[in-house]
Structure 1
Amino acid sequence: MRSHHFLRALALAGAFLCGHALAADAAKALPPSADFFTNPEFSDAVLSPSGKYLAVRLATKGKHDVLGVVDLATDGIKVVGNFNDADVGQYRWVNDNRLVFTAADRDLGEADMRYAPGLYAINRDGTGFRQLAMRSWQPFLTSGASTAARDLLPWHTYLMGQRGAQDSDFIYVLDRNYSNTGEFLSSSVLRLNTVTGRTSGNVPRPGDSVAWMLDNEGEPRLTTTREKGGSNNIYYRDPATKDWRKLTDFERYTGRGGGFRPLAFGNDGTLYVIHTTPGQDTTSVYSYDIASGKLSDKALVNLEGYDFNGQLIMDKDKLLGVRHLTDAWGTTWLDPAMQAMQAKVDQLLPNTANLLTLPSRAETPWVMVSAYADIWPRRLMLYNSETGKLRMISATFPNIDPNQMARKELVHYKARDGLSIPAWLTLPKGAGKNLPMVVLVHGGPWARGGSWEWVPAVQFLASRGYAVLEPEYRGSTGYGSKLFRAGWKQWGMKMQDDIADGTRWAIAQGYADAQRICIGGPNYGGYATLMGLIKDPDLYKCGVEWLGITDINLLYDGSWNYRSDMSDDYKRYGMPALIGDQEKDAEQFKATSPLLRAAEIKQPLLMAYGGADTRVTPAHSIKFYKAIKATNPNVELIEYEEEGHGWKLPKNRVDFWDRVDKFLDKNIGAH
């Protein structure tokens, strides 16, 4: 089945359920930065397997997040999980009566994080509490624990990313193995009784497993192992003999080799995999016959122009549809009844894209709806398939007025060597031509930068009058292997040219004022900001970089007084292929080092780093700032001592973007 793209020109007429009316004129004061960068008031909710109950994480101002359960028959809510010293983190239904959850702290920066998440279980009525795994390398940091320390699982016990069978008190958990320096090495799966806290039937491994997949019965059936030489193997465990059999292998960092990547098991035990579409550059979903080792002739869903990213949607009986990302998240329904339900929900919510999530074994008519758009932050609702009515749960950013937000569009332009580059263009509401523009470069760099949705940083900049261009430069993922592979060993070279070519395209189209353009971004985007100021001083009048890499050799070598979390395995097998070899490409590294070329940057520059960053360690900012200040007085360095590789604390996000606002206004001001 071929899927259409989901980006749509949604009409602005009409009202959103329980939300703002979309008025024609929104001449209001600028929304404050806190409206964009505070923690979401409501992040998620999960239906129980039957659909009778709803688990929610509740945020209360000035207090820790708690876990609540709503009885959808009575609308009664009960708080069942909370900590005196932490927030509720991940949570999941074990069965219709019992939940598991972890601890977290959204108000601590990375420098202050000193504990593992732990694992806890409780019944939906608040009874039967049990601590299952240690937190913070200590047995008890929670009152009311009902077991002895010797019975607890170790601190390196984690929830799996799959929900499992949900038909007993048992779940499978991961026991992660780390080196003395903190590098992840492998994991095992343990079968855990969430009532007694005891484990049984530990699954043997065919090697150093780094990933696991449960089958349709909720049992571990596939594992991916890390092999010497930079490859990964995928093994299948025969349910009859319990023996492991190798299915395929591939290079773990480049993805080369192998026939497929496993996606999920269907209700009937069919294995679905992700495989490159014949005659195309992108991947699609196929079924795979384990006995014969053959792929199906026809793709289940083909997203033309996009690699498959998503999941299967199943109920207790069959495969209903496929959730996937094209330009936006959407669903291809295979089931006629679900197609009809989607149409009814879309009619009720015409201004948003609407994602439907079903309970695993529905006994009620309730279906979860996540509604969003480029100007609408996500809102969660419940749809009653019998009455055809919606009821509001909550909104992530309720203070955001869509009337003041900007539309986002996926565009394409040609790089100088003819390669087609996707990019996201956001223009301020009511804006004209020749605008001041921020070229926002995503991090990674081997990642997808954006999609059609509400993004705080982009919308904040647009609300201040700036056009925003987000290039999906070569090396970006999700748009096919050609674009991805074209970026190998191109840091500071063709990857950089793509960004400059996109900037010149925006000028030629009349969107951007050539004299008022600033480049910015985090991580690799910070590196590209610095290299952009060096290579294209005619284009960029200023730069804003945060968490930016300032020298490739620093990624390899680090520094004696700062520990990096960059794994030795990645340095050995990933970086030489994707970024470059330290010895063979030494001259290229010199030519593309912002640190060595710092004296060439004459434009104003705003830099920001986390004092506890173990990915891009403070050595990057300290050495670069010292080098550039010798020749450029218009450089400011901000350090958030408690932050790691990103701004976790709302106060720091607000402070940073307020500084960015002032910096941009001074150098390319929208007014």
Structure 2
Amino acid sequence: MRALIIITFLFFTSAVKAFDVVQAFGRLPTMKDVQISPDGKKIAYLRENEGRYYAVGQWMDGKSKPAIFGFEESEIRGLTWASNTKILLRVSEPYYSRADFERFTLFRLGIWDIEENEITWAFNSDRFKYNVAAPALVSKILNDDDHVLLSYYYDGLGSGKQLSALYRVNLIDGDKEEVLQDKNVNFWAADDDGNPFFYRKFDKKLKKSVSMLRESGSESFKPLMTEVEGEKKIFDKAVIGLSADTDKVYYIDDGDGGVDHFFSATISNGTVDLGVVLGPVGDQSYDVSELVYDYHSSVLTGYALVKDFEEYRFLSPELAKVYADLRATFPDAEVEITSYTTDRNRFVTRVSGPSNPEQYFLFDRSAGQLQFLGEGYRVEDKSVLGHVKPFDFKARDGLELTSYLTLPKSSSGKLPPLIVMPHGGPESRDSKSFDWMRQAFAAAGYAVFQPNFRGSSGFGSAFAEKGFGEWGRKMQDDVDDGVAALVAAKVVDPERICIVGSSYGGYVALYGAVKRPDIYKCSVSFGGVSELSAMHYHAKEQLRGLEYWKKSIGDQYDYDELAAYSPLDIAGKDSAPMLLFHGDKDTVVPFFQSEKMYKKLKKLRVKGSRLVKLEGEDHWLSKGQSRKVFLAESLSFIRKNIQ
């Protein structure tokens, strides 16, 4: 039986007086990343102001003024409490390398003191100057409020090899001490005093994962072993955590169809016994989407998977009970515990669903009370939100696929026009959680179709690998087949269909307009790929991702094959009108991909096609003004073509 949770309201509530689609959805969420301090006396979150985010530290008693911090150019991407007065801010900044003639996005981690309203950078020396990724939090060190453990990487002097290191960082002045280092480490664990006792690395000589454990009372690390047919071998499974008393390891391994299975196995004298499957129990068709660690330490507390919503499975009975109560309160929404106090009495939770536009609540377990903190999108009249439901169909080769269909609330008695909205990635997936773009189009009177085509993530590696080499082929056919199934079901108007997407979804939108103008009367692309061969060169320039692109789109030297599935190369005069958006600071898909596509459309005289350059914008529509321009221009363009 689930606990009854009483909902009250706190201090972040506000509403839009008159509903307007662009104003309501074409903007950044008002607030996000809401988290509670370890002592439960303060709340931190990111607050939107004039199209960008500022970090806010707010005292719950309301007696002290909130601390507010922001940057002129850099973007704050996320935050987490490091102590009761210090917050770690994850920040990105654009960087142009004159040596490489290439633009990069660099990520950094700062220590924000909310009492002094100052930020300290622990890794600002030349050794880390050109690192692309940010330091990662390993543990907050429960028994030491003034330090945290962070992991980072650097090039070993004269070795030509990249080293991974664990640092004890002083939260007051940013001083750091290197505690441990090795090559290619991708996971660390430490005790409550900040002493590391485990790490996992990839051994390039052995070509496998090796887990290193320091047993109690020992100073040295030794590889975990396992026994196979009486012979001891290195335990090469990807260990993702240990139990609090370190007598168990947790790891993920492939089940049927390459779907992730979550295992637990006991450790005895450095040897791992046969693992027991803990999950996904009853979730055999879904991958583990996220690993959940204790908010205050490096102890693994559970995992998540995405069905219609992302759902969490907790190892701790205490956290499992809290989560179950919250899920019972919001049965048709995604519920995430973002943070909690050290005594696990007060929890901040994010609720996201068709009728929950990124809402945040504070749950007091002892009082059984839930306080509303605020929401990302201020939609006073929830009746404008579209109804989202699963829609399953079969591709032309018989492959069973899932998708989501959102129907507008308003109806003129006619079948609604359709927006086809394939996700990016392509190794990503859609769900029923709140989607601002989906709801914006639904509020404007359109049905929205979001297919999880082959190649999507979350359904096992075998399903994801079905998308390798299928850009413009079977993955594209899956989208077209889903549209055909909707038309056959007589739920949308077959004569009024437009396709909209970003990144890989932008590629699908461009390709659909070029190859199937009989289906798609118009196309909108944000940051879409138009020339496949150029992505190989871009990956080289970005110093990452070349192997992925080879698997995903094909060999870089197979020019004819790549051109045959590039919208830029195959566009013709009969292509559907295309509206292209692209940020000039995009480092994932460079701006020239849309620029060249527009020049080709202009040369072909494809009527109604335009290019909108978004100044200062990246690959993720991070600026509020960009979202407003995107949504307003897209709605105007779509109305002209299919209304």
The TM-score with structure 1 as length reference comes to 0.79
What residue in structure 2 maps to residue 93 of structure 1? 81
1:602-644 residue CA offsets vs partner (Å, 9 max, x unmatched):
2111111122222222332232222222223312111123222
**Matches of 2:450 and 2:278 in 1, distance apart?**
31
Distance 1:607 1:228, change over 3 A: farther
1:79 maps onto 2:56 in alignment: no
1:377-434 residue CA offsets vs partner (Å, 9 max, x unmatched):
1221212222222222222122453211012122221111111111121111154663
**Matches of 1:214 and 1:447 in 2, distance apart?**
28
Match of 1:119 among 103, 110, 116: 110
Distance 1:662 1:228, change over 3 A: farther
What residue in structure 1 maps to residue 387 of structure 2? 407
**Matches of 1:81 and 1:483 in 2, distance apart?**
45
What residue in structure 1 maps to residue 214 of structure 2? 238
Match of 2:188 among 202, 205, 213: 213
The code of the aligned residue for 1:120 comes to: I
SS at match of 2:392: strand
The code of the aligned residue for 2:277 comes to: K
The code of the aligned residue for 1:504 comes to: A
Distance 1:408 1:295, change over 3 A: farther
**Matches of 1:397 and 1:601 in 2, distance apart?**
39
1:432-485 residue CA offsets vs partner (Å, 9 max, x unmatched):
66321111111111222x111111111111111111111111111101223211
**Matches of 1:18 and 1:194 in 2, distance apart?**
34
Q: Contact 2:79/2:90 (CA < 8 Å) preserved in 1? A: no
Q: Contact 1:119/1:158 (CA < 8 Å) preserved in 2? A: no
1:434 maps onto 2:421 in alignment: no
Unaligned runs of 5+ in 2: 1-5, 11-16, 97-101, 227-234
1:255-302 residue CA offsets vs partner (Å, 9 max, x unmatched):
xxx96433333322233222223x454212112445334452322443
**Matches of 1:264 and 1:547 in 2, distance apart?**
37
The code of the aligned residue for 1:633 comes to: V
Distance 1:216 1:566, change over 3 A: farther
SS at match of 1:529: helix
**Matches of 1:185 and 1:133 in 2, distance apart?**
19
Q: Give the stretch that moved more between structures: 592-601 or 260-269.
A: 260-269
SS at match of 2:419: strand
Distance 1:18 1:492, change over 3 A: same
Distance 1:393 1:341, change over 3 A: same
The TM-score with structure 2 as length reference comes to 0.82
SS at match of 1:495: helix
Q: Contact 1:271/1:289 (CA < 8 Å) preserved in 2? A: yes
1:167 maps onto 2:143 in alignment: yes
**Matches of 1:61 and 1:408 in 2, distance apart?**
31
**Matches of 1:461 and 1:76 in 2, distance apart?**
42
SS at match of 1:306: coil
Distance 1:421 1:187, change over 3 A: same
1:104-150 residue CA offsets vs partner (Å, 9 max, x unmatched):
589999x999986462353x6x2696724367x89xxxxxxxxxxxx
Q: Contact 1:116/1:155 (CA < 8 Å) preserved in 2? A: no
Q: Contact 2:289/2:303 (CA < 8 Å) preserved in 1? A: no
Match of 2:398 among 383, 399, 418: 418
1:611 maps onto 2:584 in alignment: yes
Q: Contact 2:291/2:303 (CA < 8 Å) preserved in 1? A: yes
Distance 1:216 1:538, change over 3 A: farther
What residue in structure 2 maps to residue 632 of structure 1? 605
1:261 maps onto 2:238 in alignment: yes
Report deviation, 1:486: 0.9
Report deviation, 1:527: 1.5
Match of 1:202 among 148, 167, 179: 179
SS at match of 2:548: helix
1:492-548 residue CA offsets vs partner (Å, 9 max, x unmatched):
111111111111111111122111111121111122122222332321111111211
SS at match of 1:203: strand
The code of the aligned residue for 2:306 comes to: L
**Matches of 2:181 and 2:94 in 1, distance apart?**
39
SS at match of 1:45: strand
**Matches of 1:631 and 1:203 in 2, distance apart?**
60
1:292 maps onto 2:292 in alignment: no
The code of the aligned residue for 1:200 comes to: E
What residue in structure 2 maps to residue 506 of structure 1? 486
SS at match of 1:327: coil
Report deviation, 1:187: 4.3
Higher strand share: 2
1:70 maps onto 2:43 in alignment: no
1:530 maps onto 2:507 in alignment: no
The code of the aligned residue for 2:250 comes to: Y
1:456 maps onto 2:433 in alignment: no
Distance 1:437 1:342, change over 3 A: same
**Matches of 2:249 and 2:363 in 1, distance apart?**
31
**Matches of 2:118 and 2:595 in 1, distance apart?**
48
Unaligned runs of 5+ in 1: 1-14, 20-27, 139-151, 249-257, 559-563
**Matches of 1:570 and 1:75 in 2, distance apart?**
48
**Matches of 1:447 and 1:607 in 2, distance apart?**
22
Q: Contact 2:510/2:525 (CA < 8 Å) preserved in 1? A: yes
- RMSD over equivalenced CA pairs, Å: 3.9
Q: Percent identity?
A: 24
What residue in structure 1 maps to residue 550 of structure 2? 576
Report deviation, 1:313: 6.0
Distance 1:486 1:238, change over 3 A: same
**Matches of 2:421 and 2:638 in 1, distance apart?**
13
Q: Contact 1:266/1:314 (CA < 8 Å) preserved in 2? A: no
Report deviation, 1:176: 4.0
Distance 1:543 1:101, change over 3 A: same
Q: Contact 2:33/2:338 (CA < 8 Å) preserved in 1? A: no
Aligned ranges 1:172-571 → 2 under 5 Å = 172-177=149-154, 187-205=164-182, 207-209=183-185, 211-217=186-192, 218-220=194-196, 221-225=198-202, 227=204, 233-239=209-215, 240-243=218-221, 245=223, 260-269=237-246, 270-277=248-255, 279=256, 281-289=258-266, 291-302=270-281, 303-312=283-292, 322-332=303-313, 341-342=322-323, 344-345=325-326, 352-356=333-337, 359=340, 361-362=342-343, 365-431=345-411, 434-448=415-429, 450-558=430-538, 567-571=542-546
Distance 1:241 1:298, change over 3 A: same
